[in-house]
């Protein structure tokens, strides 16, 4: 299970190019879809500093709040996934809707795509 949850941690990880909340503006109202690893995940960040992370294959949803500290986004889960640090902090990079990027997490290659709108996974 740890590998599954570690796969979700990468959604916003990349080399930081900007600092502050505005680095995430294009994520608001949109969905970051992660594929690879053990499960596909859907992350929704909101401008009010809340988020949810859905793992449809397991019927699980996690929620919490986020902050940006320098070049890092920190997500604090209301109830963290098993094996995940709380808060979970990763580098953040500005992205545009339609962008797709690859990252490696826990030895697994993952592809993330920022898609327009809040994708319903249910």
**pLDDT attached to residue 116:** 98
**pLDDT attached to residue 20:** 66
Mean pLDDT for each consecutive 10-residue tract of the chain (122 residues)?
47 45 91 90 95 94 93 92 83 93 74 94 67
**pLDDT attached to residue 38:** 78
**pLDDT attached to residue 79:** 96
Sheet (strand 88-91) strand order:
88-91, 72-77, 60-69, 50-55, 41-45, 31-35, 108-115, 100-105
Q: Domains for the chain: give ranges and CATH numbers.
A: 2-115 (2.40.128.20)
**pTM to 2 decimals?**
0.80
């Amino acid at each position: 299970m740890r590998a599954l949850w570690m796969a979700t941690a990468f959604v916003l990880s990349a080399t930081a190019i900007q600092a502050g909340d505005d680095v995430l503006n294009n994520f608001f109202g949109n969905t970051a879809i992660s594929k690879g690893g053990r499960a596909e995940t859907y992350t929704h960040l909101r401008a009010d500093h809340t988020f949810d992370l859905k793992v449809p294959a397991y019927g699980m949803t996690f929620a919490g709040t986020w902050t940006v500290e320098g070049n890092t986004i920190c997500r604090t889960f209301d109830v963290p996934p098993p094996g995940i640090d709380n808060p979970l902090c990763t580098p953040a990079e500005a992205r545009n809707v339609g962008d797709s990027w690859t990252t490696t997490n826990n030895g697994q290659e993952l592809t993330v795509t920022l898609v327009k709108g809040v994708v319903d996974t249910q």
